[in-house]
Amino acid sequence: MEIATVLFSALAIIVSVVVALLQLQMHREQQNVQRRLAAIEEGRRSEELEERARADLRARLEPLDMSRAVVTVVNHGKDVAHDLAADVRASTSGRLPPQIRNDEDFPIPMLRPSEEATIRLDYARGNTDHTCDVVLSWVDGRGRQEDVFKLRHPRRN
């Protein structure tokens, strides 16, 4: 009977050691999972902060007639665009770019999210190529930004 007790005790110790090792392994795996989750959450927070620090400017061309148009700039981002400047260039070399009629309004000190700004354009007489590149530059939470919009003035029949 003493041998049975000793064997039973030895078996209990072996089972206890195996269970302890399994628990240690599970604890390490759980720590690894928690580290990965924390890294994912940190990445998500960083993306969210970057998104909040971004002004997302978009431009569209709206014709008034064959010689005049309005470019509407809208801030679709979550951050303010500071010091918004605009430059209009001819898309085709050798062509005159449209002239900005309200260039005294630029640079615009601040364009808040969902706000709009307008650029009034005059096309040169005889200019049949009604395309232009509108270059916008601004400062947001990421620093100085610049984007080029290739816009086309639809011809009227």
pLDDT tens, per residue, the chain with 157 residues? 788 888 888 888 999 999 999 999 999 999 999 999 888 888 888 777 666 678 999 999 888 887 788 899 999 999 999 999 999 887 776 677 778 887 778 889 999 999 999 999 888 776 656 678 899 999 998 899 999 999 886 654 3
Angstrom distance (rounded) from CA 14 to CA 32: 27
pTM of full prediction above 0.75: no
Closest by CA position to 81, among listed 116, 111, 50, 119: 111
Local structure of residue 119 (DSSP, 8 states): E
CATH assignment, 57-152: 2.60.40.1230
E strand or H helix that includes residue 131: strand 131-140
How many other β-carbons are positioned within 10 Å of the β-carbon of residue 14? 10
Do the Cβ atoms of 52 and 78 come closer than 8 Å?
yes
